[in-house]
Amino acid sequence: MITLVNKCCTVVVDPDMGLTVESFTFQGEELLHQDSARKRAGRTYGIPILFPTPNRVANDRYVFNDKMVPAVMHGFLRHRVFDIESRSDTHIAGRITFDGSEPLFPYNAEVMVTISLIGSTLRWEFHLTNTGDEPFGYGLALHPFFVKKKGMTLETNGHQRLVTDENMLPTEEIVEERPSSDVDTLASDAIFRCDGPSTSTLRGDGIELKILGSPAFGYTVVYTGLESAFICIEPQSCAINAHNLADQELAALQVLESNQEHLHWVEMRLSRLPGSP
């Protein structure tokens, strides 16, 4: 485990589990739902990075550029070990190099992730490089499990819900709909197309948490239940099952050509609400 710390925040990162953030405290208060059982079961927990297939994939496989590739829900990166390139009290940078031998990602590529604590902002930077001779398609997301507080509210620019079938896969139909702002009454496992880059705000217990993505993050997944102790607000770069969708605009799959690079970022910005202690 590696700990990032400054005057207001502490962040614990596990480089052996895909640079998953296991703990995130603001002024001494834990923001992430702690669930060791999910970790032991290999499920998502904390704030994992989802790559290259965030969320579900039909039949656990996809075809890209005439190549069939096996896939797993939420991608495999969250279970891989990062080589640490640099670190300080307030940042960690890790790299994974792929040589084409990974069955779940049979391409030559480098994925560099930097997590930085900047005042009361936690920032992820993703630097992807295609070092091979063929393009590849990918999706990218964060899947934070925030502690749900009584009276919490949600504001998001996600305004179009993707209709899903009985397997929770998009039918490629869209309806105009926003998630409820009242988290106490919110039960959702849905993906919303955003008006611009994904932007969401949770407010509760005197804390405001803003989640912002760079332009590639055009979707937000909202996941919680009436009895859940957590709420997940997930900035996502593509639709669920993006590799397999016929509507490429809706899919929003990122395609990285040979010898090209992509840069993306996500920030979580914290502040105290007016009048709170």
Least Cα distance to 273 among 181, 201, 222 occurs for 201
H helix and E strand count, the chain: 2, 24
Q: What is the spatial distance between Cα 249 and Cα 228, in angstroms, rounded to a whole number? A: 33
Query: How far is 240 from 206, CA to CA, in rounded Å?
Result: 33
Nearest to 269 by CA among 92, 122, 145: 122
What is residue 138's predicted lDDT score, i.e. its pLDDT?
A: 98
pLDDT of residue 277: 66
Give dist(CA 122, CA 113) in Å, integer.
Answer: 13
- Residue 181 region, left (φ>0) first, then alpha (ψ -120 to 50), else beta? alpha
Tens-digit pLDDT profile for the chain (277 aa)? 999 999 999 999 999 999 999 999 999 999 999 988 888 888 898 999 999 999 999 999 999 999 999 999 999 999 999 999 999 999 999 999 999 999 999 999 999 999 999 999 999 999 999 999 999 999 999 999 999 999 999 999 999 999 999 999 999 999 999 999 999 999 999 999 998 999 999 999 999 999 999 999 999 999 999 999 999 999 999 999 999 999 999 999 999 999 999 999 999 999 998 876 6
Q: How far apart are alpha carbons 144 and 268 in whole angstroms?
A: 10
Please give the Cα distance from 65 to 24 (Å, whole number).
Answer: 39
pTM of the model: 0.95
Q: Which domains, ranges and CATH numbers included, belong to the chain?
A: 2-271 (2.70.98.10)
